[in-house]
Amino acid sequence: MFEGVRGWVLRILRVPAEPSAPGGGRVIRVFRAAPAYFRYRLALWALGQLSGLLGLLGSLAFVAVVGPRIPDARLALLLQAAEVVAWTVFVVQLGFSLAVLRLGYELRWYILSDRALRIREGIVSINEKTITFANIQQISIRQGPLQRLLGIADVQVSTAGGGSGGAQGKHGQVGESMHEAYFRGVDNAEEIRTAIAERVRLHRDAGLGDPDEPPHPADAGEPAVLAAARELREEVRALRQAMAPSSAR
């Protein structure tokens, strides 16, 4: 039954396929939210549904008490019809919202490439962010009491210009600006932070060009300017490597 609802929701919302590696680069790692994150979101969903159910029960009690006292029969009938519609909408949205919740967990992508990271989240409103390693300024782990109980956390990646945290981005959530990205609900936060920090370090150590690009001699037919640029890059790399031990001392 869920598969049928899943396909129906995907067709209605027109959810795009799995995101590709940012910048046409090579995918290094793909991280996913932990199963405990779905239970965390499910608990919040259940609280919201319970609140709606209590509201409907209150309106039902109101109709049961006030309805018989309404002198206008048509008005009383209209009030009962509105109550039936409200209950019908509530029951229908239960299945739909639960399917959206499940799909939001399954179709949450955290992609780490050799050039940048890309995060896509959301089903009804899709939020996709791409951040290059050159712009990353800080990588931190955030964990609330309930998250700590479930063994999950959020990895926050902040970029240059992200000092105004707490604003709401164009497609982001409250408390998240366009200079922030989150790996939400992961159970390997330290591993993710280390992986991102390593890519940032490789990118900055490389200086010029792609950090994963192997050194290679200039082709015979290569323009002189490009050949000179390649030689300069290799000299810069060699100089940095030679200076690294002396700097450490």
Question: Which pair of structure tokens corresponds to residue 138?
Answer: 């800080």
Q: Does residue 122 share a domain with residue 233? A: no
Q: Does residue 8 share a domain with residue 91? A: yes
Q: Does residue 19 share a domain with residue 138? A: yes
Q: Tens digit of pLDDT for each residue in 90-131?
A: 999 998 899 889 988 988 999 998 889 999 998 888 888 999
- Average pLDDT of the chain is 79
Q: Does residue 71 share a domain with residue 8? A: yes
Q: Count CB-CB contacts under 10 A for residue 176.
A: 19
Provide the domain count of the chain: 2
Q: Does residue 171 share a domain with residue 54? A: yes
Across-strand partners of 153? Answer: 186
Listed in order, strand segments (DSSP E) in 75-215 are: 109-113, 116-121, 127-132, 136-142, 153-159, 180-186
181 is a domain residue:
yes
- Measure the N-to-C terminal CA separation of the chain; round to a whole number of Å: 65
Q: Does residue 235 share a domain with residue 117? A: no
Q: Does residue 221 share a domain with residue 128? A: no
What residue numbers bound the domain in which 240 lies? 214-248
Q: Does residue 8 share a domain with residue 83? A: yes
Under 8 Å between Cβ of 21 and 122? no
Confidence class for position 249, pLDDT limits 50, 70, 90: very low
Name the pTM for this structure.
0.67
Q: Tens digit of pLDDT for each residue in 27-76?
A: 888 999 999 999 999 999 999 999 999 999 998 888 888 877 888 788 88
Of all helices (H) and strands (E), which one includes residue 60?
Answer: helix 35-66
Q: Tens digit of pLDDT for each residue in 142-183?
A: 999 989 999 999 999 998 765 444 444 433 454 567 789 999
Under 8 Å between Cβ of 121 and 184? yes
Q: Does residue 135 share a domain with residue 72? A: yes
Q: Does residue 31 share a domain with residue 136? A: yes
